[in-house]
Structure 1
Amino acid sequence: MNAAVTLAPWGPADLPLLERANTPEMTAHLGGPETPAQLEERQERYLRLVGAGEAAMYRIEVDGTPVGGIGYWQVEHDGTPAWETGWHVFPEWQRRGIAGAALRLIIRLVAARGERTLLVAYPGIANPGSNALCRTAGFTHRGSGSMPWRGGDLAFNIWVLDMSPLDLDARAPDLDERFDEGVLDETVWWPYYLAHWSSRERAAARYSAAPEGLELRIDRDTSPWSPEFDEGNRVSHLQTGQFSGPLGSPTGQHRFRDGLVVREAQPERRLHLPRFGVIEARMTAVRHPDAMVAFWPIGFEDRPDDCGEICIAEIFGSEIDDTGGWVGVGVKAQHDPRLRTDFEKIRVDGDLTAMHDYAVEWTPDEVRFFIDHRWVKTVRQTIDYPTQLMLDVYEFPRADGERDVAALPHVLRVERVRTFPPA
């Protein structure tokens, strides 16, 4: 779906959109069409609830063309205040990813309100498309139910998206790295970026550790770390593990392109390999179009399929502006056939070059993502193997081959990195 999916506030002139959706095909999972009087009452209810602040209703538009509707409204779920959401997309616009895009926009709007931490949906049990959409949007299935509806019984599934903030007050970390000893603790950190695809000399980090925290740095004389496989990319990086095969083999962590072979044998390092729990970094971004910072645990990969990536934060300097910027979060399958990539960019207001907290809460069933302890995304997938932390700043080459040396060094500042065992 390349066209722009947007939401426009539902208005007094939108009754024809309800009428267009009131067909046997569109209402098959809702007990059938409504009468004209019922549609008029529904339209009046939408406008009344929106005016009272108890709901928000929208047209779904594709490049300005109305293609359906979506909204959320106040309910209680198991005695807890919540928002309920529902949607429809006209048949000729279905199977294009439009409903999924609209639901992601609604989730962002609900999360930004911060008033209620639960979003619920009750699609019909016989509606496979809407149930699949809830699952892929990060909702948790919490059972099913039925109720009288339009002269019959409506059987529905219960889906819940928990948007509660990250609470660490009662939890003790098993790693609380402040980088304040003046030297890097190499029982935790391996200061080389995927050196098996290059060499320790080329992949060595430029860094300093001081009471103010860690600085990872790309300097004027920093060379591309692996020109054979990664062109002119420069990086300064720490990781908490190292696994790769013998010289000349294709075995190694983060197989980021085809044709990789080990160029320098590396010692195995199992330093700090969390599996479930909370992983958090407090760090800054770099506002420069050639730079990117990231914090992304990856599978230790001693088994080839155990290679998925949990991208806690990926921030391109080109995507930072005067009022905020975009932070990439989510799961990347890489070469793990059990995973599907579920990654998106979250708009964050404020100065991203100042310190912010980026974290995940990882369980056997899901990964919840947080920025400054505020929930931003849930990925409902199972990642059940140890991961190593990957912390880095990149400088990407320009098409003309020139570098902006006046802007160097590019510096990623990290105040702390913490991990917490499962609750």
Structure 2
Amino acid sequence: MDPEVRLRDVELGDVDAYVRMRCDPVMMAELGGPLPREGIEEKVRRDVEDAASGKALIKMIVPAAGGPGTAGKPVAGTVTLWHHDVDGTVFSEIGWMVMPEFQGRGVGKRAVRMLLERARYEDRWGLVHAFPSTTNAPSNGICRSLGFTFLAEQDVVFAGRIVRTNHWIIDPSTDLARTDSPSSR
């Protein structure tokens, strides 16, 4: 059974959660290591603006109240869908991070699915790409289980670092439907 979570827009008060996700060596192990603490407030501010304008869907994953691991931890992670330009080609990308205490519980899979369902409903994102590190078995498993198609291994730049990734793609309007079942909702 999928865990109960909800998604909410990123808020200015989410700085501590961003620090926990982006500045922690364990959380950032698959993305080239922790980012510096400086600039996190600015990153949150930009993300809040992008979410408010509709430029990107930047969601905080909020676990069901009273569930295991929720005491004193208002968010379980983040899931984001945005457009970006690589060498003149604009495409949609989805990415997610789940705090260690929530990993292995299906929280990330549920949140990714929820955002892809929204993308299907909005019908403005087109094909959605994901680039988990080649060594990130849980994130690659999420892609596989939700109906993404594996394209190839590829190097991508994340925060100025080159990361070896698996390139996955999904069309939320058709491919996500392959995984629709009572147990995946």
Structure 1 partner of 2:181: 343
Residue deviations 1:45-87 (CA, integer Å, cap 9, x gap): 2112123321011111111441111111112579664321111
Structure 1 partner of 2:10: 10
- Report if aligned partners of 1:11, 1:47 keep a CA contact under 8 Å in 2: yes
Aligned-residue CA RMSD in angstroms? 2.7
**Deviation at residue 346 of structure 1 after TM alignment:** 9.9
**1:330–1:163 CA distance, 2 compared to 1 (3 A):** closer
Structure 2 partner of 1:58: 59
Q: Which runs of 5+ in 1 are unaligned?
A: 166-328, 332-341, 348-423
**1:152–1:9 CA distance, 2 compared to 1 (3 A):** closer
Q: How does 1:245-260 map to 2 (within 5 A)?
A: none
Query: How many residue pairs are counted as aligned between the two chains?
Result: 175
In proportion to residue count, which structure has more helix? 2
Residue deviations 1:72-111 (CA, integer Å, cap 9, x gap): 1112579664321111111111101111111110111111
Q: How does 1:268-287 map to 2 (within 5 A)?
A: none
**Deviation at residue 37 of structure 1 after TM alignment:** 1.8
**1:79–1:72 CA distance, 2 compared to 1 (3 A):** same
**1:40–1:139 CA distance, 2 compared to 1 (3 A):** same
Structure 2 partner of 1:180: none
- Report if aligned partners of 1:330, 1:344 keep a CA contact under 8 Å in 2: no
**Alignment partner of 2:79: what SS?**
strand
Q: How does 1:174-213 map to 2 (within 5 A)?
A: none
Structure 1 partner of 2:68: none
**Alignment partner of 2:83: what SS?**
strand
**1:163–1:15 CA distance, 2 compared to 1 (3 A):** same
Which of 160, 163, 169 aligns to 1:160? It is 169
**Alignment partner of 1:36: what SS?**
coil
Which of 90, 112, 120 aligns to 2:121? It is 112
**Deviation at residue 122 of structure 1 after TM alignment:** 0.9
Which of 138, 149, 161 aligns to 1:140? It is 149
Residue deviations 1:260-283 (CA, integer Å, cap 9, x gap): xxxxxxxxxxxxxxxxxxxxxxxx
- 1:127 is the counterpart of 2:128: no
Higher RCO (CA 8 Å, separation ≥ 6 residues): 2
**Alignment partner of 1:84: what SS?**
strand
Distance in 2 between residues matched to 1:154 and 1:78, nearest whole Å: 18
**1:31–1:15 CA distance, 2 compared to 1 (3 A):** same
Q: How does 1:18-417 map to 2 (within 5 A)?
A: 18-21=18-21, 22-64=23-65, 65-76=74-85, 81-150=90-159, 152-163=161-172, 330=178, 343-344=181-182
Q: TM-score, normalised by structure 2?
A: 0.82
Q: Which runs of 5+ in 2 are unaligned?
A: 66-73
**Deviation at residue 34 of structure 1 after TM alignment:** 1.2
* Residue identity opposite 1:109 in structure 2: R
Distance in 2 between residues matched to 1:156 and 1:91, nearest whole Å: 21
Distance in 1 between residues matched to 2:104 and 2:184, nearest whole Å: 24
Residue deviations 1:8-28 (CA, integer Å, cap 9, x gap): 111111111111112100000
**1:37–1:114 CA distance, 2 compared to 1 (3 A):** same
Residue deviations 1:105-155 (CA, integer Å, cap 9, x gap): 011111111113211111111211111111111111111221444564211
The percent of aligned pairs where both chains have the same amino acid is: 30
- Report if aligned partners of 2:120, 2:172 keep a CA contact under 8 Å in 1: yes
**Deviation at residue 330 of structure 1 after TM alignment:** 5.0
**Alignment partner of 1:96: what SS?**
coil
Structure 2 partner of 1:235: none
**Alignment partner of 2:30: what SS?**
coil
**1:149–1:119 CA distance, 2 compared to 1 (3 A):** closer
- Report if aligned partners of 2:117, 2:172 keep a CA contact under 8 Å in 1: no
**1:85–1:99 CA distance, 2 compared to 1 (3 A):** same
